Structure 1
Amino acid sequence: MVAQTLPVSGQSAGMAVSFRFLLSLYGIVPICLIALGLDSWLFDHALRDALPSSPSHFLLFQVLFGTPHIVASNLLLVSHADYLKTFQRKLLGMSAFIVLFFGVGSLFIPYRVLYLISACWTVYHVLKQQHGIAKAVCRLPVWAFYLQLWLSVTAGIFTYIGIFMKNSLAPEQAALILQIATALTAALLAATWICQRHVASRLGWYFLWANTLLVVASWFVYCQQYYFLAILMPRLVHDITAYSFYATHDVNRHAGHPQNALFRLTEACRLPAVAVLPLLSFALTYWLQVHGDAAVNLILQTLFSTQVYKAATLGIVGYLALMHYYTEAFIWSAGSPLRRYIRFGRAS
């Protein structure tokens, strides 16, 4: 979810998104830093050696982080006919673009170029969400908001590249990536020190520094080669934040009066509205990761006598991720039908 500037509401009816709860998610940062310190000082890096070199190599990570909230976001749209009707032109247009650029285009565009585009979009999406939410309580001037955002995003991009492309980079390239990430992270710290004077509330000050320290901590653990932890921290903060919006929407729209077939079915099964998207998205993610490729290729082999490499885990999940990055930029903005079901707790 990429949040726009969010109005703070004092409404008590229904479920509300709590800014203090969202801030508490950043607690993963000191936990990971403490784990790194203990592992380095007491256990001779046993934890680092036991973790996979890349989070994408760890099935449990794939099932728990990243993909589930992407699946949930897409389910939220396609399970509501009124949302599909409202956004159908945008959805069809973006679907065509993804097929042409990332599908057909992959025949001509180098894989590394496509990967870098996806990586930049991923980092921008994750950090834009966190800064967009913080903007509601930080109330930074426009120039300060975008300074913080773009320094965070650029520092995050180089950290991300350093982690996920480390095996394909020459030593001098890896060193250059690290140097750039370090310089941008230092610039972000300096900018935050300058911008904090424009934050009026204590909660806003906490959010400002929480977003900065999220990037700084990811850079630091990347430098220490704890690649799993470097990705875990922003992923956990981002994903749970997104689910808090999805759950709030579902409770306020469907609890006690389900308005589509999915929630009528789950209510009949006595499943509370708040749990529908999380449980369904985790189940679908597990199926896609474990059985998706085989199932899709069975269909392709039966109908067309052909198979596609990672048809589900790369093709379908990749499509859903790109659609998620695109749609979350506008479905929660002012005037969107989804925003009618979102309320916010007080920011004081």
Structure 2
Amino acid sequence: MSAQSISTHEVTAHATVAVSFKLLLGLYAIIPICLLLRFFDHWFWQDYLQQNLPSSPYHFILFQIMFGTPHIIASAIVLVSNTEYLKHYKHNVILMTLAIAVAYFAGNMFIPYRVLYIVVASWTVFHVLKQQHGIARGICPLPDWAFNLLLWLSVTAGICIYIGIFLRQGLSVDQTSWLKEIAAILCLVLAVSTIVCQRYVNTSFGKWFLWSNVLLVLSSFYLYVQQYYFLAILVPRFVHDATAYVFYVTHDYNKHHEQPKNFIYRYAARCGVHVFLVLPVISFTLAFVLQAYGDTVVNAITQLFWGTEFYRVVTVGLLGYLALMHYYTEAFTWKGDSPYRQFIAFKK
């Protein structure tokens, strides 16, 4: 999900459970945890983790099932299972679907893979960090110039780190060195800028939130330089995905706990499934089935009926489409005038 600006005093008639900023801040505990893992690995475990962890979380199917895919599926479920939301945003969904289809075919035909990858990677990093900075602005309001300065320094540094990790096999020694140097300079400027901008935040809690977002980037850069690529991606990915889930589950509880308003929650109520469990159970189950068996099932079907196989229809095609649609819709579905927001409130 994404947010422009939210307030701890915002209350709606439909929101009986509020999103806690303390809970959201607590998710950033992944930063010291991953840093301690790095230090313990070096001091006591002879760099075992560095040598044996996957080169990125996306090479570890359990990570895909636990993070990334479930919250993207949950986002899609929230949108399409509530008919009033789908009607409200149907033009956006149709236009974006057409845009993705055109971009996919044009990209495969005319755009080099690396360029296309960098574009999608940049959008991914922007989506992840915009969410966290947008939420933090509700507890540590900054002037527009300061907010945009810290956001774009974070995003630019994050893009360098992301590219340095995921495209490192195809980068020359000089290119890798340049990326690290650029990221280091951006991280230094980000830290200095945060010191300057924190004077606009009047509470210690707000400053904790402000610096937590900055440390998402700084810790990821440090872990990247130390070649703990898995941990470098895990830090922002965990915070982003877990934060999104807090919003999704809170929204669905407030919307459906008194009277289920769509077929999913009506069926769950008949089965006695608690409203808090419905969205996580469905999204994690679908993530597991699609990641583990989706391509195999599709290939078996196409082989049976057409005598051919298609390359990663589910894990790249379907889930890739859902991810891009998620990046797009989450930029506006949680804004103040969105129908989603009548079921969301906030508290410290």
TM over 0.5: yes
TM class by shorter-chain length?
over 0.9
Instruction: Give the alignment of 1:174-185 within 5 angstroms.
Output: 174-185=176-187
Write the mapping of 1:169-208 to structure 2, written as runs, cut at 5 A: 169-208=171-210
- Residues 1:2 and 2:24 are matched in the alignment: no
User: For the Cα contact (< 8 Å) 1:254–1:273, is it kept in 2?
Assistant: yes
- For residue 40 of structure 2, the aligned residue among 38, 41, 54 is 38
> What is the alpha-carbon distance in structure 1 between the residues aligned to residue 84 and residue 304 of structure 2?
35
| Code of the aligned partner of 1:339 | R
2:345 match: secondary structure = coil
Change (3 A) 1:300 1:108: farther
Cα 1:154/1:139, change in 2 over 3 Å:
same
- The structure-2 alpha-carbon separation of the partners of 1:201 and 1:279, relative to structure 1 and needing over 3 Å to count, comes to same
> What residue in structure 2 maps to residue 288 of structure 1?
290
CA deviation profile, 1:167-206 (whole Å, cap 9, x unmatched): 1111111111111111111110011011011111221111
Matched, 1:224 2:234: no
Q: Residues of 2 paired with 1:315 and 1:114: CA distance?
A: 15
Q: 1:84 aligns with which of 83, 86, 96?
A: 86
Q: Distance in 1 between matches of 2:146 and 2:278?
A: 38
Aligned residue type for 1:132: G
1-side partners of 2:62 and 2:315: how far apart?
Answer: 14
Over the residues paired in the alignment, what is the CA RMSD in angstroms? 1.3
Contact 2:160/2:182, CA 8 A, preserved across alignment: yes
CA shift for structure 1 position 226:
0.4
Q: Contact between 1:11 and 1:345, CA under 8 Å: does it hold in 2?
A: no
Shift of 1:304: 4.7
1:172 maps to a residue whose letter is D
Q: What do residues 54-86 of structure 1 show as CA deviations (whole Å, max 9, x unaligned)?
A: 211111111111111001001110101111100
1:234 equivalent among 233, 236, 256: 236
User: What is the aligned counterpart of 1:15 among 17, 22, 31?
Assistant: 17
Unaligned runs of 5+ in 1: none
Q: Hey, which bits of structure 1, 4+ residues long, moved more than 4 A?
A: 10-13, 302-305
Contact residue 66 and residue 284 of structure 2 kept, 8 A? yes
Residue in 1 aligned with 2:262?
260
Match of 1:57 among 43, 53, 59: 59
Shift of 1:264: 0.6
Instruction: With the length of structure 1 as denominator, give the TM-score of the two structures.
Output: 0.97
Code of the aligned partner of 1:28: I
CA distance in 1, matches of 2:109, 2:73: 27
Report the CA distance between 1:153 and its aligned residue: 0.4
Decide whether the 8 Å contact of 1:102 with 1:114 is kept in 2.
no
The match for 1:271 is 273
State the alpha-carbon separation in 2 of the partners of residues 109 and 303 from structure 1: 32
TM-score, structure 2 as length reference: 0.97
Cα distance in 1 between the residues matched to 2:132 and 2:3: 8
How much does 1:303 deviate? 5.1
Amino acid at match of 1:126: V
Q: For residues 10 and 246 of structure 1, what CA distance do their matches in structure 2 show?
A: 17
User: How many residues of Structure 1 are paired with residues of Structure 2 in the alignment?
Assistant: 346
Is the counterpart of residue 300 in structure 1 residue 274 in structure 2?
no
Identity level (%): 51
